[in-house]
Every structure is written in C-alpha cells, then in structure tokens.
Amino acid sequence: MGQEIIRLLELREFPVAETRLLASSRSVGREYKACGNLETVRETTPEAFKGLDFAIFSAGGSISKEFAEDARKHGCVVIDNSSAFRMEPSVPLVIPEINPSSVEKHKGIISNPNCSTIVALMALYPLHKRFGLKHFFASTYQAVSGAGASGVTELEKQSRTVLGGGEQVPPEVFPHPIAFNLIPHIDEFREDGYTKEELKMRNESRKIMDHSGLKVSCTCVRVPVIRAHAMSLNADFKHPVNVPDAHAAIEAFNGTELWDLPNALRYPMPLDYAEKEVCGVGRLRLDQVFENGLALWAVGDQLWKGAALNAVQIAELLIRQNLLRVL
Ligand SMILES: NC(=O)c1ccc[n+]([C@@H]2O[C@H](COP(=O)([O-])OP(=O)(O)OC[C@H]3O[C@@H](n4cnc5c(N)ncnc54)[C@H](OP(=O)(O)O)[C@@H]3O)[C@@H](O)[C@H]2O)c1
C-alpha cells in the first residue's frame, strides 16, 4: 500500500516538501523514488515523526497503536489505514465525499474506513440522501491484494503451480487455497458466526453516515482477483424508489460513476476499476423482496479509494480547511 500512497501523492501533485518512508527493520536501506527524490527506507521509531505534518499509517493495527501517539506528540497528524482507532468516538472516520466536516474535530488521529465499507458507501450514500436508507444486505467479493502484497504473491504462486500440473502450494496468507477457489472467511470469526470484517460494514457505516439505527447484514468472501473489491448490495429505503431517480442520484455524486447498460454488457468489473479513482455502480434494479428496495452491484479499487486515495484525500481536506494541527 505504501507504494500506492506514493503514486497517488505524485499523480495528484500533493504539495510535498519532504517524504519519509518508514517500515520495519527488515526494509531499512531499500530505496524508492518518491515525489521526485530517491528515498531510503528508515526504521519506524518514536522519533521518526519529528518535523512531519502528516503520517499515513499502513502497517496494521498493532503498529498503529504502537506509534500513533508518538507521531501525535511530535505534532504530526496521523491518517490511519488500520482498524485500530476507527470506532473510538474521538477519532473521525472519514470518507471525504460523505462526511468531510467530521475532520474538524480531529485531535491528531483520523481513521480511514475499511476498504469494503468505503466502496459500499460510495454506492449507497447518494441513494441514502435521495431515499433514506433503512437497512441493507451486502455480499462482498474481495481481491487478494486486500490482504497485502503477500496475498497477491500467494494467488500468483498457487495459480502457476495448478496450471503447471503441480501439487497445490500450501496456503500461508489465506486459510485455504485461493487459486480457482472462493473463501467465505475474512478476518476472525466472532461468537455470533459473523467475522470481524463483516461487522465493520455495519458499525463503520453507522458512524460515517451518522445513522445509528442502520441495520446491515454482510457476508465477506475472498476471491481470486488481484485488485478491486466488488459487492452485491440489496438496500431498503424509507421512501418509494425508482430506477431513473436512483441513476440520477448516483450520477450526481462525486467519486462514483454509473456504469449501467446491461444490454451493452456494461457493468462494473474489477479489471476495469483497478487503478481508477472512482467507484462504479451498475446492475441497478428494483429489489424483488424489499418494499422500497434497490439491488445493485458496486466495484472500487480497494487499494485506491478503499485506502490510499481516501487517505490522501483526507490529507488534502486537512490542508484545504487549514486543520493541520494536533490538539
Ligand atoms: N491492502 C488493502 O487493500 C488495504 C485496504 C484498506 C486498509 N488496509 C490496511 O492497511 C494496513 C496495511 O496493509 P497492506 O495491504 O499495505 O499490507 P502489506 O502489503 O503487508 O504491507 C505492510 C507494510 O507494513 C510495514 N511494517 C510491518 N511491520 C512494521 C513495523 N514494525 N514498523 C513499520 N512498518 C512496518 C511493512 O514493512 P516491512 O516490509 O518492512 O515489514 C509493509 O511495508 C493493514 O492495517 C490493512 O488492514 C489494507
């Protein structure tokens, strides 16, 4: 993800004076081009954040918990990609197109939502504004890069082996072989049978849309796709719905495009949305179960809008709103 963050800082011409690449001791000394300079990776230490305005954390929840307070103490605003602080009441959980004003109350740590939650809400929020969302079902189809660079390596290795007629390579990153398979299991199982990933969809959606009564039931599935998460969504609304108004609501929403001409075989797919800043919505139709329901299909690059891009957009928002301070 770090490399995607650098790419987006460059593509969006983010006003960078200095970049520091921090990782574990394993990567110290590696060199990468970043924002016009060749940078050497340094080890993350409490002092490494001194003099920085922002730190985009993307090393997992335990590392975020270990270092976020050090960064904050040095006046460096943390934008955190992990789930470590997302549900803390004092930490804004932000999708800039949806709840930009929540950054105003930040105290030095801002959380980036879960990648599937971002893609789902980029599709559902414009419909919520138009029809008033009551509850929704989500079934996700999540790419292997959602589990980090090692997830991609595992899919590639297993696929090559199977196609070459060899024995399945034992899984290391995923709980089962992912090549030519689907795994209905992302993150840890809870006692109620849902996984933690599935509960993020409900809890984070409630916080981001300030909609405490929202009901969500979600099933998360890992699929052998390299990049971009897809999901099937069935949502019920307070007010009567119709497809033309739903199309218009999606089209008017910044950050999501309507890609919905089934007769022309036009619907969003991961291959089309990888490395794309916008999310896509298609297959939009009246739901056959809910009274005021819509069924739809959404796709978004979870490495970009689901993580790195959303983080960079939060940093841009802080600059625009002159909120670069740690309280
Ligand atoms: N991938 C996604 O689509 C996605 C989307 C949303 C959120 N996230 C979240 O983003 C975080 C990272 O995911 P990822 O996909 O980028 O994983 P990744 O590809 O496995 O990369 C993890 C990075 O963390 C670094 N790291 C490990 N230990 C560290 C330490 N002690 N100090 C500093 N850096 C350390 C690693 O550096 P070394 O190589 O030196 O170990 C590596 O650069 C996770 O919390 C994940 O849930 C990921």
pLDDT at 278: 98
Closest residue to atom 15 of ligand 1, CA basis: 148
Give the pLDDT score at 262. 97
Q: Which residues are tagged catalytic?
A: 115, 229
pLDDT of residue 111: 98
Q: Is the CB of 302 under 6 A from ligand 1?
A: yes
Q: How far is the CA of 319 from the centre of ligand 1 (A)?
A: 25
Q: Which residue in this structure is represented by tokens 């052998």?
A: 224
Residue 169: per-residue pLDDT: 81
What residue type is assigned to position 119 of the chain?
V
Out of 58, 140, 142, mutate this one to test ligand 1's pocket (max ligand atoms within 8 Å of CB): namely 58
Residue nearest atom 10 of ligand 1, based on CA coordinates:
58
d(CA 229, CA 304): 11
Whether 2-113+307-320 shares its CATH topology with 116-302 is answered: no
Q: Which of 270, 186, 287, 283 is nearest to 225 (CA)?
A: 270
* Beta strand ranges found along the chain (DSSP E): 22-23, 31-34, 37-40, 42-43, 54-57, 77-80, 109-111, 133-142, 215-222, 229-237, 256-258, 279-286, 293-300
Q: How far is the CA of 115 from the centre of ligand 1 (A)?
A: 14
Total residues belonging to the chain: 327
For the Cβ of 292 lying below 6 angstroms from any atom of ligand 1, the answer is: no
What is the pLDDT, as a whole number, of residue 326?
Answer: 82
Pocket test for ligand 1, best of 22, 24, 153, 200 (most atoms within 8 A of CB): 24
248 burial type by CB count under 10 A (0-12 exposed, 13-18 middle, 19+ buried):
middle
pLDDT tens profile 158-211: 999 999 998 878 999 999 999 999 999 999 999 999 999 999 999 999 999 999
Atom of ligand 1 nearest to the CA of 27: 40
Task: Tell me the CATH number of domain 116-302, given options 2.30.330.10, 3.30.360.10, 3.40.50.970, 2.40.10.170.
Answer: 3.30.360.10
| Span from the CA of 112 to the centroid of ligand 1 (angstroms) | 14
Atom of ligand 1 nearest to the CA of 84: 45
Q: Which residues of the chain have pLDDT under 50?
A: none
46-77 pLDDT tens trace = 999 999 999 999 999 999 999 999 999 999 99
- Is 60 touching ligand 1 by the criterion CB < 6 Å? yes
Q: How far is the CA of 143 from the centre of ligand 1 (A)?
A: 16
The verdict on domain 2-113+307-320 having CATH code 3.40.50.300 is no
Q: Where are the domains of the chain?
A: 2-113+307-320, 116-302
Index of the ligand 1 atom closest to the CA of residue 25:
40
**pLDDT, position 167:** 84
